[in-house]
């Protein structure tokens, strides 16, 4: 059981009021967080070490009233196997990771393939703030204020063809900068995928920052996916390639342990991981455990995507 210092429990005092965001086809409150950041030991990241963005976080809770996880925790306890399997070591090892210049190739079954410089994405797509809950498959969770833009905006820009059924994402492959990629246990580079209709859902975003600041390397800088109704490993980090494809992609974790990690990875308290229960979770910064919510609390927004599907077989 990971113990969090008391200094990590309360979000920074400068975030004084709650903010809600309305996006897309109706009133969609922003809320949830995905993948990979939490913190306890290791090199603590101070607020001033991350450059501010145009947005300033003023929220203290999400739409369910859950407190934000502290900035220190979010940036010092990270699942990022490209650096290390130790969550407390990632921030140290990622300190000198180079995120500029950075390009993202978007292609495959599209009418208008594009290669974007990261700065071009920042200028082209409107940045919004959304509070998203992150639920990790190891049965812990966080609440994080992310900055970014809907993945759907980027996909509409490249115009998927009628044959496109899935979106495949790929992380940078650079074993010199990412020492974990020297491990032969996994098939690198890290790859993930979504069904096209999942990718077009307004909750799915490409994140460029958190807590009003640019993403730090340990959190997936400069660009990462956030899919809040799925387990955190779906929210791929440091993206360099997005490809529209006809066949379901095989992700790194599907290849490594297909009996444990399926393509969909929807948060489902009724389906246990083979080695532990998923019925409850421990929120980083809190004592005790809380029940896990179906689809991580976003059932109303996404359940229709899986109508008539067996969510035990399609785990």
> Would you tell me how many other CB atoms lie within 10 Å of the CB of residue 302?
22
Examine residue 201 and state whether it is found in any structural domain, yes or no.
yes
**Per-residue pLDDT at 29 exceeds 70:** no
pLDDT of 175: 97
Nearest to 80 by CA among 286, 214, 236: 236
**Per-residue pLDDT at 87 exceeds 50:** yes
Examine residue 313 and state whether it is found in any structural domain, yes or no.
no
Report the predicted TM-score, pTM, of the whole model to 2 decimal places.
Answer: 0.84
How far is 64 from 34, CA to CA, in rounded Å?
16
* Longest CA pairwise span in the chain (Å): 52
pLDDT of 26: 34
**Best mean pLDDT range from 56-60, 137-141, 196-200:** 196-200
Q: Which residues lie closer than 8 Å to 253 by C-beta, 6 or more apart?
A: 233, 260, 261
Examine residue 314 and state whether it is found in any structural domain, yes or no.
no
Examine residue 190 and state whether it is found in any structural domain, yes or no.
yes
Examine residue 33 and state whether it is found in any structural domain, yes or no.
yes
The chain-wide mean pLDDT, for the chain, equals 86
Q: For the domain that residue 108 is a member of, what is the CATH number?
A: 3.90.420.10
Examine residue 245 and state whether it is found in any structural domain, yes or no.
yes
pLDDT digits (tens, 9 = 90+) for 31-58: 333 333 333 333 445 444 544 445 667 7
**Per-residue pLDDT at 117 exceeds 50:** yes
Q: Give the number of domains in the chain.
A: 1
pLDDT of 259: 93
**Per-residue pLDDT at 1 exceeds 80:** no
Domain range for 42 is: 10-305
Q: CA 101, 250, 143, 297: dihedral to nearest 10 degrees?
A: 140
Examine residue 1 and state whether it is found in any structural domain, yes or no.
no
Mean pLDDT of 86-106: 97
Name the strand (E) or helix (H) holding 193: strand 191-195
pLDDT of 65: 87
pLDDT of 54: 54
Examine residue 311 and state whether it is found in any structural domain, yes or no.
no
């Amino acid at each position: 059981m990971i113990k969090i210092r008391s200094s990590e429990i309360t979000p920074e005092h400068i975030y004084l009021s709650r903010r809600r965001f309305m996006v897309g086809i109706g009133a969609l409150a922003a809320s949830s967080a995905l993948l990979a950041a939490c913190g306890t030991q290791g090199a603590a990241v101070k607020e001033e070490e991350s450059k501010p963005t145009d947005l300033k976080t003023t929220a203290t809770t999400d739409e369910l009233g859950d407190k934000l996880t502290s900035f220190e925790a979010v940036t010092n306890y990270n699942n990022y196997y490209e650096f290390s399997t130790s969550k407390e070591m990632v921030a140290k090892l990622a300190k000198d990771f180079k995120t500029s210049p950075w390009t993202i190739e978007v292609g495959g079954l599209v009418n208008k393939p594009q290669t974007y410089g990261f700065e071009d994405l920042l200028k082209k797509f409107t940045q919004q703030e959304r509070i998203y809950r992150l639920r990790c498959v190891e049965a812990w969770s966080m609440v994080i204020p992310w900055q970014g833009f809907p993945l759907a905006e980027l996909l509409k820009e490249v115009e998927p063809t009628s044959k496109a059924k899935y979106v495949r994402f790929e992380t940078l492959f650079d074993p010199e900068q990412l020492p974990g990629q020297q491990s032969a246990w996994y098939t690198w580079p890290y790859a993930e995928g979504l069904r096209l209709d999942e990718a077009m859902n307004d909750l799915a975003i490409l994140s460029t920052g958190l807590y009003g600041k640019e993403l730090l390397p340990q959190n997936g800088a400069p660009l990462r996916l956030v899919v809040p109704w799925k387990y955190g490993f779906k929210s791929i980090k440091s993206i360099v390639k997005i490809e529209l494809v006809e066949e379901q992609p095989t992700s790194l974790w599907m290849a490594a342990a297909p009996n444990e990690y399926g393509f969909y990875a929807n948060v489902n308290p009724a389906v246990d991981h083979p080695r532990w229960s998923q019925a409850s979770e421990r929120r980083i910064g809190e004592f005790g455990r809380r029940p896990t919510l179906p689809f991580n609390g976003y059932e109303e927004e996404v359940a229709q995507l899986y109508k008539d599907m067996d969510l035990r077989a399609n785990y």
